[in-house]
Structure 1
Amino acid sequence: MKIKKKLGMGIASAAMGLALIGGGTYAYFSDSAQTTSKFANGTLDLNANPTTIIDVKNLKPGDWMTRTFKLENKGTLDIAKILLKTDYTVTDAKGDNGGEDFGKHIRVNFLYNHDKGDTVIYSTTLDQLKGMSPDAIENKLWVPFFEERGGSLKPNTFDTLSVQYQFVDNGQDQNIFQGDSLNLTWTFEGKQGNGEAK
């Protein structure tokens, strides 16, 4: 039994030695290379100048106001669309408007983008405009003179827009609006363009 044990140990030792020798014969060359990547995002930074377009008092039916303002891109990316969202609140001075919305009597005669040569809004009332989201920089008409500006707002550029509001005289009694006021908020929301190969 001792001989079998010694023979078994000897065979195991020999097998281990052969395995070590065999493993050492498979040496190979190696090399490695490393790369790094960086992803820096651009910015959309849309500004309106001035931020208060209209501040008038003592309106009467038939009055109109024309003002000019700028939409500026102070970011690093093109702004492909600028959607206009409209909201307003009416303060009823006498509390007797009987459910009549003063916003139905304030009309936007036009909102014109001088840099795109295009009319963004044409003759609609504030209450109707609440349900719309027109693009303030869309170039709907192809005009060669304006083509270099395209339908986007490039970084560090601006578009000049003119707007005209009118308190519509409907030829009827509008006494219920005496002393009323309307606070209008226009929110211009800039949207990026489609992704592209970089």
Structure 2
Amino acid sequence: MSIKRNLALSFATAALGLIFISGGTVAYFNDIESAKNTFTTGLLELGINKESIIQVADIVPGDTMHGNFVLTNDGTVNIKEIILQSSYEVIDKGMSNQDDDLGDYIEVKYLYNVKNRERVVVEKTLSELKDNPQQIMKEFPVGSNEAKFAVQFQFIDNGENQNHFQEDELILSWNFEATQRDGDPDLQ
């Protein structure tokens, strides 16, 4: 081997030794702590006490019918509002209705929120309510008492011949949509 090569190898070995020696002599304190964080989402759960609010048969123009139901907040999140979504289907079993809608003649005289003592829907036909959401309640906090509702329907007698509605059936669907409280910008 040449002298230059021996010298270069000696310097490299010495430098490597110094790195190991100096690395082993450096001492410092160290401590590590960790924290685990959890995010749990709430549950928005609206309850109703029955599957059918009203079922009546053999109604005639001029009849008035009553029903009731109870809503509950069964979740862990406060409810901001409850919206009534109304739809129906008419099954024409008798004479042809010839585009005369039975939903124009069944009227919700009132939908009354017993808890808040207010009429939330007043004198609206089922055809007026169809695809026309109605707010029936505001602020339904978790742990609050159940919300009782009373409803009155009337088959409107228009004073004319309504024979074409005989034997017809109207299937009413009411869906109650609860929305969550507003998000809290500084929730702790």
Shared fold per TM-score greater than 0.5:
yes
Q: Are the aligned partners of 1:84 and 1:134 in contact in 2 as well (CA < 8 Å)? A: yes
Provide the residue aligned with 1:183 in structure 2: 171
Cα drift, residue 3 of structure 1? 2.0
Provide the residue aligned with 2:70 in structure 1: 70
Listed as ranges, the matches of 1:100-179 within 5 Å are: 100-138=100-138, 151-155=139-143, 157-179=145-167
Distance of aligned partners of 1:188 and 1:88 in 2 relative to their CA distance in 1, 3 Å threshold:
same
TM-score (norm 1): 0.87
Provide the residue aligned with 2:99 in structure 1: 99
Listed as ranges, the matches of 1:73-92 within 5 Å are: 73-92=73-92
Match of 1:192 among 177, 180, 185: 180
Cα drift, residue 166 of structure 1? 0.5
Q: Deviations 1:172-196 (Å, cap 9, x if unpaired)? A: 1111101111010100111110122
TM-score (norm 2): 0.91
Which range is displaced more, 165-174 or 44-53?
44-53
**Partner amino acid for 1:61?**
P
Q: Deviations 1:85-132 (Å, cap 9, x if unpaired)? A: 111111111241001111011000110101122221011110110132
**Partner amino acid for 1:66?**
H
Structure 2 CA distance, aligned partners of 1:67 and 1:13?
Answer: 96
Provide the residue aligned with 1:143 in structure 2: none
Moved over 6 A (4+): none
Q: Are the aligned partners of 2:69 and 2:149 in contact in 1 as well (CA < 8 Å)? A: yes
Name the SS of the counterpart of 2:134 in structure 1.
coil
Matched, 1:59 2:59: yes
**Partner amino acid for 1:38?**
T
Q: Are the aligned partners of 1:137 and 1:153 in contact in 2 as well (CA < 8 Å)? A: no
Q: Are the aligned partners of 2:95 and 2:166 in contact in 1 as well (CA < 8 Å)? A: no
**Partner amino acid for 1:51?**
E
In the comparison of the two structures, how many residue pairs are matched? 186
Distance of aligned partners of 1:21 and 1:153 in 2 relative to their CA distance in 1, 3 Å threshold:
closer
Which range is displaced more, 68-77 or 120-129?
68-77
Matched, 1:33 2:21: no
Unmatched segments (≥5 aa) in structure 1: 139-150
**Identical amino acids, percent of aligned pairs:** 39
Distance of aligned partners of 1:176 and 1:95 in 2 relative to their CA distance in 1, 3 Å threshold:
closer
Name the SS of the counterpart of 2:146 in structure 1.
strand
Provide the residue aligned with 2:11 in structure 1: 11
Unmatched segments (≥5 aa) in structure 2: none
Name the SS of the counterpart of 1:37 in structure 2.
coil
